[in-house]
Amino acid sequence: MLGDAASSFVSAVAGGKVEVYNEFSLQHELGIFLRRNHPELKVQFERNVGFFFPDRTKFTKREIDISAFSGIDRKLAFAIELKYPRNGQHPEQMFSFCKDIAFAEELVIAGFPRCAFIVFAEDHLFYRGPVDGIYGFFRGGKPIHGRIQKPTGKKDDEVSIQGHHTVEWKPVFGALKYAVVQIGNAS
């Protein structure tokens, strides 16, 4: 469901029916798109994990970019983490991508049946260039897995990815590309 929804949304963006130009617009346009296509669900933005799970300490992040659940019994449907980097900082942003993927894995373990990480990027350095270190996950097809250390600064932060996730960039239009990493039940 998430992969199909992402493809349909990207088609709307590529066709000029929906305009996205930064992360905020991506989050809201995708949320509106999901509400329109899933009226049976509550689609909410920046929902704190404590709303769904009382033990917030086991999560990498505190806020879910987009969450969807039944308005009747609060049955969880899916969660989405988003990125649309606009100011370079390539290795730092790539590490942030990894944190979002780890967070999505944690949400699935906690009870969301499926989650996705969706990234849009116009800057070719996110999807093309040298493939050493963290770049290999986003430019070289190297599966994202295991302990990933912050690539810059003090290198005092790390994230653990349980699954094996491969980033496959797809064109939207011009230099704009997107990738979707699905976690959990893909249906």
Compute the Cα dihedral for 4, 170, 32, 103 and give only its sign. Answer: positive
Distances (CA, A) of 164 to 38, 87, 89, 132: 29, 28, 24, 18
User: How far, in Å, CA of 51 to CA of 45, rounded?
Assistant: 12
Q: What is the mean pLDDT of residues 145-166?
A: 90
User: How far, in Å, CA of 21 to CA of 32, rounded?
Assistant: 15
Instruction: Give the burial string for 67-92 (b: 16+ CB within 10 Å, else e).
Output: bbbeeeeeebbbbbbbbbbeeeebbb
Nearest to 38, CA basis, from 65, 6, 70: 70
Residue 155 pLDDT more than 90?
A: no
The reported pLDDT for the residue numbered 186 is: 61
pLDDT tens digits for 8-20? 999 999 999 999 9
The reported pLDDT for the residue numbered 55 is: 80
pLDDT tens digits for 49-102? 999 998 877 899 999 999 999 988 889 999 999 999 998 889 999 999 999 999
Q: Which domain holds residue 73?
A: 2-184
Domain total in the chain: 1
The reported pLDDT for the residue numbered 180 is: 95
Rounded mean pLDDT of the chain?
A: 93
Q: What percent of the chain has pLDDT over 90?
A: 83
Distances (CA, A) of 104 to 15, 25, 81, 113, 166: 29, 21, 7, 11, 15
pLDDT band at 187 (very low <50, low <70, confident <90, very high): low
pLDDT tens digits for 21-60? 999 999 999 999 999 999 999 999 999 999 999 887 789 9
E-strand ranges in the chain read: 41-48, 63-70, 76-83, 114-121, 144-149, 158-165, 170-173, 176-184
Sheet containing 41-48: order of strands: 41-48, 63-70, 76-83, 114-121, 176-184, 170-173
Is there a contact between 144 and 105 (Cβ–Cβ < 8 Å)? no
pLDDT band at 1 (very low <50, low <70, confident <90, very high): low
Tracing tokens 């505190």 back to the chain, one arrives at: 62
